[in-house]
Structures are given as C-alpha cells and as structure tokens.
Amino acid sequence: MTQTTVDAPAKDRARIPARTLRTDRYWTSPLTTFIVFTAWVIYATVRSMMGSSFWVEKYHYLTPFYSPCVSKACPAGAADFGRFVPDHLPFFIPYALISLPFLLGFRLTCYYYRKSYYRAFWLTPSACAVPDKSPARKTPGAYSGETRLPLILQNAHRYFWVVAALISLVNTWDAINAFHGKDGGFGIGLGTIILWVNVIMLWGYTLSCHSCRHVMGGRLKSFSKHPVRYWLWTQISKLNARHGQFALITLGTLALADAYVALVAHGSFSDLRIFN
Amino acid sequence: MTDIERLQYDVVVIGAGGAGLRAAIEARLQGKKTAIISKSLFGKAHTVMAEGGAAAAMGNANPNDNWQVHYRDTMRGGKFLNNWRMAELHAKEAPERIWELEAWGALFDRTKDGKISQRNFGGHEYPRLAHVGDRTGLELIRTCQQKIVALQQEDHKEFGDYDARLRVFAETTVTRLLKDEQGRICGAFGYIRETGKFVVFEAPAVVLATGGIGKSFKVTSNSWEYTGDGHALALLAGASLINMEFVQFHPTGMVWPPSVKGILVTESVRGDGGVLKNSDDKRFMFEYIPEVFKDKYATTEEEADGWYEDPDNNRRPPELLPRDEVARAINSEVKAGRGSPHGGVFLDIASRLKPEQIIKRLPSMHHQFKELADVDITAEPMEVGPTCHYVMGGVEVDPDTAAALVPGLFAAGEVSGGMHGSNRLGGNSLSDLLVFGRRAGLGASEYASATTVSVPESEIEAAMAEALEPYEREAGENPYTVHQELQQTMNDLVGIIRREDELEQAIEALGKLRERVQNVAVAPSAGASPKEGQGPAYHPGWHLALDLRNMMIVSECVARAALERQESRGGHTRDDYPKMSADWRKVNLVCRVRDGVVELKRQDMEPMREDLLSLFELDELQKYLTEGELPAEEKN
Amino acid sequence: MGYKAKFRVWRGDAGEGELKDYTVEVNEGEVVLDVIHRLQATEAQDLAVRWNCKAGKCGSCSAEINGRPRLMCMTRMSTFAEDETVTVTPMRTFPVIRDLVTDVSYNYEKAREVPSFDGGDVKPGEFRMQQVDVERSQEFRKCIECFLCNNTCHVIRDHEENKEHFSGPRFLMRVAELEMHPADVADRRQIAQDEFGLGYCNITKCCTEVCPEHIKITDNALIPMKERVVGRRYDPLVWLGSKIGIVKRDKETPKA
C-alpha cells in the first residue's frame, strides 16, 4: 500500500546512545535484594540440612525449618505429626521434607518474590526504564515472560498457598507448644515470644497473598450479593497492600526464630525466661 | 499542484470533545460515513477537564426534580437570555443521554438503591449532577471514545476495516471550511500536525464542535486547543455568532504557583461543603447575594450549614450562587484588600470535612494541589481566584437541528451559542454536549442524505496559500510574542469587569494586533527543508501562527459586543452600567464577518413560548422581563 | 527566585537526532513543561512537544525526564537541584515523530482489539449497580491514557517484536476493568492470555511505579486478571468442576 497523507510518518524510535538516562542510584534496590536473598538462601539451605540444633526439649522450641519434623530421626517431643520418613537418608533431605518444598514453592511463585527476583536475579528489568538484561534480550523473540515452561508453573501459586496455609497451622501448633515451662507446665520465654512473632508474621504473609485475595472475593463480579466475602476481600486487600513487607519481614523472623532456637539448642546461651 | 489528498465523507465532525464524539456517534448510527477531526490525540479533548458532573433531572437524589425545575434553573442562571427552546430540549433530553452513556459502559457513582448518584451544584435547586468523583468529564469522553471503538469493531466485523464508516483523524487541524458556488458547505481544509501535509475533506455536512475561546485570555482554565477555531471558521464561512460578550469567569481557579494560574478548582468543592473566606477569616459571600436571589439563599452561617444535611428546611449557602456572582464577589474582595497572599481568596474544605472524606470525594483536587502547588487541601485552605472558563456565546444555530445559517454547517457544544444565555450553570455543559451533540449528528445526517457536493479547486488553493503564508514569509514577528500581548490585552481590558473606555482601548489595541498577526513569520524547523505544497512537520510555531487568526477574530467579536451591551448580566459586567436591563434582555448581539471586517448588529429574541413562561411565578418574571412581555392574563 | 537551569532536550526526527543543550530561565513554582514552553517562545520555536491541559488530566505530555517516564506538567522544577542538568527525551518505546513527540498509534490499535463493554439485555436507564461493585473498575477508569505504563513496560520497551502479541499494561487493565464491571456479561479471560499477552507480564510493577494517576495497575488489575485466567485455564480443580458440571462456564468472547 502506498503511503497516504494521513499515515503516521514515524517508524523508528529515537536513537539515544545512553542505555538509560536515569541519574538516581536505581541499582541499590536490586543489589540489596540480591544480597539479602542470596544470604538467606545459603543460611536456610545449610540449616535445614544440618539435622541438629533444631529442638529445645526443655521448652519445646522447634525451629520452623524443621516443622513438621517427620523423620524417624526427630526427637519424639518434636514430632507431633508422626515420624514416617526413614532415617539415614542422604544429608540433603531435610527432616521437614513434607513442608519445605511447598514453602519454597509458595515463595518462588509469590507475586511479590517474582517481582523481586525477576528484577534482582534475572535483570528483566533491574529497574524501571533500564534495559532488560536477560539473555533473551540478545535473541529476538526469546522473551516469553510467563507463557512457557517452566515459568508457566507460576500459575500454580494458589495451590502452594493452600499448602502454605496448612503449614502455618502447623507452625501455630508449634508456637502453642512453646508455652512450655521447665517443670513441664506452662511457661514463657523469649523463645516463645520469637516463635509467636514469627508465626503471626507468617499468617500475615500467607493471608495477604494475591491468590488468597482472589479466592476470598476478588474473583466475584458482584460484591454486593456476597457481603461476607466482600468483607473478607476488603480486609485481605488491606493486608495485601503490605504483602511485600510481610514477605521481607518473614524472611527476618524465620531466620531469627531458627537462629535463636539453634543457639539455645546448641547451648550457646540459655533461653531468657519470663515465666517458668 | 493540488496533489493534496482528498477524502470523501458524508459528515465531518470538527472537534473530538464530548459534543464532537457524540455527534459522530449519532451520524454513524444513522449510517453516515463519518470523520472526526481532532486537534489533539483521540481522547485528550478539553472535556476531560470537566470535573463536577453532568446535570440531568433524573430525580434519583431528590424525586421532586424534573425537567421543568431544571429548565427554570437554567433560565435563571442565564438571566433569561437563553434560547428557551434549547434550554427546554436540554432539560428534557439530558436524562436519556446520561442513561445512554451507562449502556455504553460508563460507571457513575451510585445511590444506595443502585441508581446514578447526583450531587449539588451552584444554581441547581436539587442535587442533579451525575458524577464520578471529580473526574466526570474524563468518564464522559472515555465512554464516548470507547463507544466509537465499539462501532469501529462492528464495522471491522462487517467490512474488515475499522475505519470503514467512522474514522478519527488525530492531530489534524482544520483551517478553512470550504464552500461551493451555491454558498453551501462542501468540505473542510486542514493539515496533519505530524507531517505538515494538507488534506481536504469533501463532505456536504460539517459539524463544528471545537469548544471555546479561552486561549485569548491570559488567566484561563482552558487548554491550548481553545483558540476559537470553530467560532472563527463559522464566521469566515459566513455564519453568525451570538452572545459573544458573555464570557464565564469561573470563580475558583488556582492562583499560585504562577505557572498553573487559572487551572480549575472544581465547584464540587463548594457543593460538598467548601466555603469561601477572605483574609479576615470571614465568609464574605453572605454580603453578595443579589436581589433576584434573595429568597433562595441562606442569610446566616447556621442556615447555610444546615442545608447540606437538610435541604428541605434550609436555604442554600451563598457559596453556591451562580458562577458569575461568585466570581464578581471574589474580585471585589481582592480589590478591597481582603485577598489571600497570592491575590485570591481562601477556599476552605479542610475545616469542614474529614481528610478521608475529602480524598474520597475530591481525589483529583487533592492530587492536583499536592502535585502542582504542594498544598495539602485536607489540612489547609486553597487560594483561588476567577479564571476565564467558558464562552456562552457561539454559533447561532437552530435549536432542534443545530444547523447554522450556512447550509451544511452545524454546531454543538461550547462553540454553539444561545443555550446558556448570559451565564452557564455548572454541570449544564456536559449535558449540553450530549444533547446537542446528538442533535447535531442527527441534523447533519439528515441534511447529508439529501445533498451532494463537490469542492471547487479555487477554494483549496486559497486555503493552502493562506496556511502557508506565515511559513513562507521571510521576516516577521514571533507568533508567541503577539499571542502573549493578545492575551494580556483581553485579560486587562475585556476581562471580568468592563468599562467603556477600556473596551474602546481594547478595540484599538486589537486593531493594531490584527496587523501584527498578519505579519507573523515562522522559521523552518531546524534540519528540515521546506517542501512544496506542504507545511512543516509538527511545528508548534506554525500551528500557533495559524491559530492566531482565529483568536484575533473572536477577540474582536467579544470586545465589540461587550462595548455594545450597556448593562450587566451574567458573564458580562459593566462597571459603568451595573444594572440588568429588561430592554437589553430582549436583544441578542449578532457578530458576522464581511470582507474580513467584524460587524455587529442587534437582533430581537423570540418571545418565550407561553407554556414555558407559565412555569415561572409572575414576581420572578417581573425581575427580568419588560412590562410588555409578561403573560397577558396576569398583566392587569 | 528565578535561576538559569541547564537543560538537555532530544531534538530530531525519524529516529535521528541528538541531545541539545540549552540554558533557560526557571521561576518559582514552575514545572518542566513551563521550561519547555519558554524554550519554544524564545530560542526554539519549532521544538515539537505534545501537551494539552497542563494539569495532569489529559495525559498528553508524556516524556522521559532524567531517564524516568513522567508527565512534563507534573514534574516540578523544585525537585531538581539548581545546578542539575535536566535531560528531557521522548518516550523510548514508541517511534519518534519529532523532538519530544512520539507516534503512539500502537496504543490505539491495541485499544481496538479489546471487545467493548457488553451490557447484555439491560435497557438504558435500567442499570442498577451498587457503589461497592463499581469501585474496582472506577479505579481503572481514572486512567488518562498517557501511555507511560506501556512506555515503561520492558516487554515491549526492550523487545519490539512483542508489540504484536502484547497489549501493554494499559489495555490489560482495560480488560480487567471490563471483567470487573458489574454489568458486563462477556468473558475475556481466554483472549487476555492468548491475544493480549497477559502471560508476558512478569509483574515487575514498573507500570504501577510510573502511573501519574497512582492506579495500582499491577496489584489491582494485572494480578487479579492473572488469577482469573488461572481459574479459567490453569486450575485443574476448576477444570474438573466444569467437566462434571459444578462450575458454570460463560461463553468466551473472541477478540474484536
């Protein structure tokens, strides 16, 4: 077709040599994410494979990294959900092998974490209006987003969410158990409080999930016909606005809870007792 | 030489604001091949700036409302100078036009029972404005835009071409209407901004929907597009303008910082409880209630505050007087030395509503002040002052078909005159766009069905030569300089308060400016060589040079009409004739251009139909009409 | 408080051009667009820039200021240091027409592909909707179509070839708006994925970051839309439910 008067004249983008003209330190945020996530993953991997210092018998403190503890190697007190996984598995199989893969999956498919690691690890893009640095950039047509395997599996987030909610129940059970005094009755120590803070934050993270928001009410066309679900949706929406914060806070509380239990279990220091 | 592209349409709509889009939708629904010519991108028109709402007597908020009440309010607001037939059609048809938008996907705010919510506004007896927060204009334009897309999708299904029967020409400016030997409209000539290429639209019917003239004034709420194009095109094609002396100054524009001076602060702020205070912290509006409105407005703060909750037992607060009254009051306060630091008065909503309520009801105002002036309106008052907002005057049209005096020419929206009389009520503009946009589309379609035209070559050549003049002139003045002087002149001498000597001065100054406009020159774009038979690509200096002609003609009309009308009424305030005169009410001032000269003549208005007259009480009519015009049976 | 600011503005057409330096007066309370206008009125009459309302309501004056997609009328000069050079370039994702003006027709083409509102059999004037039901879509209808979200989205900014299959945040949000419209009866979930490229979105939230209307595009439109698509085509339970007839399925609406 010949060009007519009213056709748009432009075909090419402005050729600006600079990759980005941003003058702010836009790379600090992805860099921080990269360091924090990497450090956390290393810590969590090491700890969940250690197979020791995860249980404080005296106060019934179980680290979330070993909950539920289902290996035959778990101490009886720590294994409220049964010990049905054989002992003497290779070292890299964690004792909480029925929960950890799902928790990992929940966080890997989480909309907040996806944003963070796409930015910090994939660099697609590292910051807004900064060119995408994925290998795909070099081959046209290779950026397919989340349309193909494996990233299409991100769509399974809602299933991971269901399991994560169940695991949060287990963590809550652990925290209730942690009201355990040295004489066997009721007791509170700093460890109890840390486990509770962790479990509350975990609930915050789990309930503020985008899939949860969708399931509770977001999927409805009409809110006015479902007042209860609308109420749930509004509450979850409020939490959802802080989903990213919960995601980061729980990284901190999980590591803190685990480290505290580990150090007390190892005998590095003794638990600070508040009552019994 | 004329290898200029010619495009054939049945109906060409110039302007892509609410009225233009509504007209185009109607023409397309009538099966006409329709073009929409937009000076900006599709969906950016000035209609998006309308905030408050669209007035329509749906009776959702107050069941006592009906078209008669709306009609009365409109006539009162316009001080009975309105074309009564237009006001009648408007009041009757507005609800249908609003409901239609909903069927096209618009999402208005709702009442408890699920209907369209309606809000209070200045001059409206009942809550009447259908609204979406404070961005109703955006909703209206987006809905019409999406309806056009929907129609294009239908055409795509049928013909495999989205543009088959309805096409949008974005960033295209019309510089001349074309006429055939019989004196009928036969098309329009314009240029494509992006390329500078010229284009001819051949069409028997042209609908003008170009909006207003605010860019002739320095302090204005209007965008750059508002250069009076439609007004000037109509005049140059031989049509007439009426009521051009009536220019509405919106009482509340931002006054600070300087770069945003004039940007609108919606009337909804007052509708939702905002009050005006001077530097003595006094609600001064109580002192400015004019005689004709004495019994309709509260005289104490208690009564005024009571009205928001209980409108049946309290009279309305005087902050909600028609816009002309409020604008004049603010002007007087500032002149008396009781203004705010930056030369306005205070508009206070912070002490009247909770922060959450303010953010909910006035989100874009909150946003606008925060971003542009660094003022948090939930915590401190705004500074506001009058800003040129709307021209009541415009193309003289037939109320039912929107046809102008030139065969084939139609006009709707702000560019048409008569509907709003001497002063437009807030909220009546959006409904005006829809009601008369549709009627213009219908009128144009009917006319186009019965007419075929062809464009004479000479018309195209003349239009092209005119458009290229400033570009081909070797040396001349910078169009920006001339524009700034024109704006200053209009603001200072033909502004909100007018005097005979100043108006005479203005006419003299405009005469000199006209010569300078004819001598502006535009340098070619850097790096681009001029091409034969086309203008420069996207060259703002050239665009302004061409728009200047229009602003010039329109400014002369405004100044001449303002000098002629020796009374004060609505948007026309004469310091030397402060009273409203019943004799002047009967008169429209009609502006035409003959041989390049602006002419003005008086024209008697048609008396109001009796059944409409009987909607008013006699003692109210006596305030406006002459003895001879009052209803016969009641005269003795 | 006026001062002389250093500006660098991209000048050129058809892709070719360069950053030109200017020194220009700046007064209190001004925004970047004011300065661009001053350049036009003084030394660069032909400097092409698109603008309209100058109040952040029309979305015409989109550009990139110091590398960040912004509206020129909503970027106050007071956010820069007086000795800072302010660089203004056209939006990078769209072809440039001249100077700061780009050809945004991509957006209008994508808009035409989204099936329009379908109100079913309801007659005008008979719609009844509750405020809580209209609010979600109302948020998206605040959009002023500045196209900064589409400009900043790396899916097309960095991968031109994706323009064919990806409608950008603006029009995926439009799909979400219609899907959440209480009176709309069409089902656009399949085409959201297949035709408009929702799956390309990797929710890095740049659209939300640049939105001058502060619409939560990612959290409120794109992610809920992704979840709806999961429900339509990736959820085995829903699939099973529809096979045995517990889950009712709407008719799918094809691309317009």
DSSP string over chain C: --EEEEEEEEEEETTEEEEEEEEEEE-TT-BHHHHHHHHHHTT-TT-----S-SSSSS---EEEETTEEEEGGG-BGGGS-TTPEEEEE--SSSBEEETTEE--HHHHHHHHHSPPP--TTPPTT-----HHHHHHHHHHHT-----HHHHH-HHHHS-GGGGGT--HHHHHHHHHHHHH-TT-----HHHHHHTS-GGG-----HHHHH-TT---IIIIIIHHHHHHHIIIII-HHHHHHHHTTSS--PPPPPP-
pLDDT tens for residues B554-599? 999 999 999 999 999 999 999 999 999 999 999 999 999 999 899 9
Q: Where are the domains of chain A?
A: 28-275
Residue keyed to tokens 């004060």: B568
- CA-CA distance, A266 to A55, in Å (whole number)? 9
Nearest to B149 among C116, C123, C141 (CB): C116
Q: Which residues of B touch C28 (CB under 8 A)?
A: 257-258
**Mutate which of C194, C216, C219, C233 to disrupt the A interface (most A C-beta within 10 Å)?**
C219
Please list every residue in chain A whose beta carbon sits closer than 8 Å to the beta carbon of residue C159.
132, 136-137, 140-141, 143
**What does each C-alpha distance from C188 to A36, A71, C30, C191, C251 come to in angstroms?**
40, 48, 44, 6, 9
Helices A243-266 and A190-207: crossing angle, nearest 10°? 150
Residue of A nearest to B192 (CA): A6
Closest A-chain CA to B5: A5
Q: What is the predicted pLDDT for the residue at B3?
A: 77
Which of C230, C237, C247 should one mutate to test binding to chain A, selecting the residue with the greatest count of A CBs within 10 A? C230
CA distances from B627 to B30, B66, B586, B589, B624 (A): 46, 29, 12, 22, 10
Q: How far is CA A188 from the centre of its chain?
A: 27
Contact A10 B194 (CB under 8 A): yes
For residue B636, pLDDT beyond 50: no
Looking at every residue in chain B, the average pLDDT score rounds to 94
φ and ψ at residue B398, rounded to 5 degrees: -75, 125
What pLDDT is attached to residue B266? 87
Instruction: Give C61 to chain B, closest Cα distance, Å.
Output: 11
Write down the pLDDT at residue A2.
Answer: 47
Pairs across A and B, CB distance < 8 A: 19
Chain A interface, best mutation among B38, B111, B197, by max A CB count within 10 A: B197
Domain for residue C75, yes or no?
yes
Task: Judge whether C206 lies within some domain.
Answer: yes
**Chain C CB within 8 Å of residue B215 CB:** no
Least CB–CB distance from B540: residue in C40, C54, C57: C40
Candidate list B270, B366, B438, B539, residue with the active-site label: B270
Q: CA of C49: how far to CAs of C14, C19, C39, C44, C61, in Å? A: 15, 15, 11, 11, 7
Which percentage of chain B shows pLDDT scores above 70? 99
H or E element at residue B35: strand B34-37
In terms of phi and psi (left: phi > 0; alpha: psi -120 to 50; beta: otherwise), the region of B343 is left
CA distance B195 to chain A (A): 7
B634/C147 Cα distance (integer angstroms): 62
Question: Can you list the alpha helix ranges (DSSP code H) found in B450-472?
Answer: 457-472
More confidently predicted of B50 and B241: B241
Specify the number of domains making up chain C.
2
Is residue C82 domain-shared with residue C19, that is, in the same domain?
Answer: yes
Which chain C positions have a beta carbon within 8 Å of A157's beta carbon? Answer: 230
C87 lies in the same domain as C198: no
Cβ–Cβ of B199/A6 closer than 8 Å? yes
Asked, for residue C252, whether it belongs to a domain, the answer is no
Which residues of A fall within a CB distance of 8 Å from B173?
none
Q: Which of A69-83, B274-288, C229-243 has the lowest mean pLDDT?
A: C229-243
The answer to whether the CB atoms of B259 and C58 lie below 8 A apart is no
Predicted pLDDT at C1: 61
Q: Is-catalytic flag, B142? A: no
Choose among C74, C116, C123: nearest Cβ to B371: C74
pLDDT score of A5 more than 70: no
Q: Answer whether B223 touches C (CB < 8 Å).
A: yes
Same domain, C193 and C239: yes
pLDDT of residue C164: 94
pLDDT of residue B1: 46
- A207-266 tens-digit pLDDT: 999 999 999 999 999 999 999 999 999 999 999 999 999 999 999 999 999 999 999 999
Closest CA in chain C for residue B154: C256
Average pLDDT over residues B123-139: 94
- Residue C204 forms contact with A (CB below 8 Å): yes
Tell me the pLDDT tens digit for each residue of C149-182. 999 999 999 999 999 999 999 999 999 999 999 9
From C102, C131, C157, give the residue that closes a domain. C102
Residue ranges per structural domain of chain B: 252-387, 474-580
Instruction: Choose, from B76, B119, B250, B569, the residue flagged as catalytic.
Output: B250
Helices (H), A51-181: 100-108, 111-117, 157-177
- Contacts for B475 with CB less than 8 Å, ≥ 6 apart: B521
B250 has catalytic annotation: yes
- CATH number for the domain spanning C195: value is 1.10.1060.10
pLDDT tens across B280-339, in order? 999 999 999 998 888 889 999 999 999 988 888 999 999 999 888 999 999 999 989 999
Q: What number of residues does chain B have?
A: 636
Q: Considering the domain boundaries, does residue C181 fall inside one?
A: yes
A6/B5 Cβ within 8 A: yes
For chain C, give the number of residues.
256
Among the candidates C55, C73, C102, a domain finishes at C102
Å from C182 to nearest chain B CA?
9
* Cβ neighbourhood burial of A140 (10 Å; 0-12, 13-18, 19+): exposed
Neighbours of chain C (3+ CB pairs under 8 A): A, B
C29 and C88, same domain (yes or no): yes
Do residues C43 and C141 share a domain? no
The pLDDT tens digits for B112-121 are 999 999 999 8
In this predicted model, what pLDDT tens digit does every residue of A156-182 receive, in sequence order?
A: 999 999 999 999 999 999 999 999 998
Do C161 and C89 reside in the same domain of the chain?
A: no
Chains touching A (3+ CB pairs < 8 Å): B, C
State whether C219 and C158 are in the same domain: yes
Cβ-based contacts under 8 A for chains B and C: 187
List of chain A residues whose C-beta atoms are within 8 Å of the C-beta of residue C231: 214, 219
Check whether C101 has a pLDDT greater than 50.
Answer: yes
pLDDT given at position A6: 65
Residue among A15, A115, A147 minimizing CB distance to C205: A115
pLDDT band at A141 (very low <50, low <70, confident <90, very high): low
Paired with C3 in beta bridges are C26
**C254 occurs within a structural domain:** no
Return the CATH number at C12.
3.10.20.30
Tell me if C248 is assigned to some domain: no
| pLDDT value of position A242 | 97
Q: Is the pLDDT of residue B635 over 50?
A: no
In order of A244, B547, C171, C191, C208, the CA distances from C217 in angstroms are 16, 39, 11, 19, 5
CATH no. for B474-580: 1.20.58.100
Q: Which residues contact C236 (CB under 8 A, 6 or more apart)?
A: none
Q: What is the pLDDT of residues C118-156, one digit of tens each?
A: 999 999 999 999 999 999 999 999 999 999 999 999 999
Interface test with A, best of C7, C202, C237 (most A CBs within 10 A): C202
User: What was the pLDDT predicted at B292?
Assistant: 85
**Which helix (H) or strand (E) element contains residue A274?**
strand A273-275
Task: State which amino acid sits at residue B466.
Answer: E
Model confidence at A134: pLDDT above 70: no
Going by C-alpha positions, the residue among C110, C197, C194, C105 that lies closest to residue C159 is C197
Domain final position from C102, C132, C164: C102
Set of chain A residues whose Cβ sits within 8 Å of the Cβ of C247: none
Which residue reads 């109703």 in tokens?
B136
| Domain enclosing residue C23, as ranges | 3-102
Segment B90-109 shows an average pLDDT of 98
Instruction: At A192, list the tokens.
Output: 């109890």
The nearest alpha carbon in chain C to B51 belongs to: C57
* CATH, range B252-387: 3.90.700.10
Task: Report the gap between the CA of A11 and the closest CA in chain B (Å).
Answer: 13
Among A2, A3, A5, which would you mutate to test the B interface (most chain B Cβ atoms within 10 Å of its Cβ)?
Answer: A5
Chain B partners of A10 at a C-beta cutoff of 8 Å? 194
B194 touches chain A (CB under 8 A): yes
Q: Does C150 touch chain A (CB under 8 A)?
A: no
Neighbors of chain B with 3 or more C-beta pairs under 8 Å:
A, C
Q: Lowest-pLDDT range, A155-159, B27-31, B259-263, C168-172?
A: B259-263
Q: Does C255 touch chain B (CB under 8 A)?
A: no
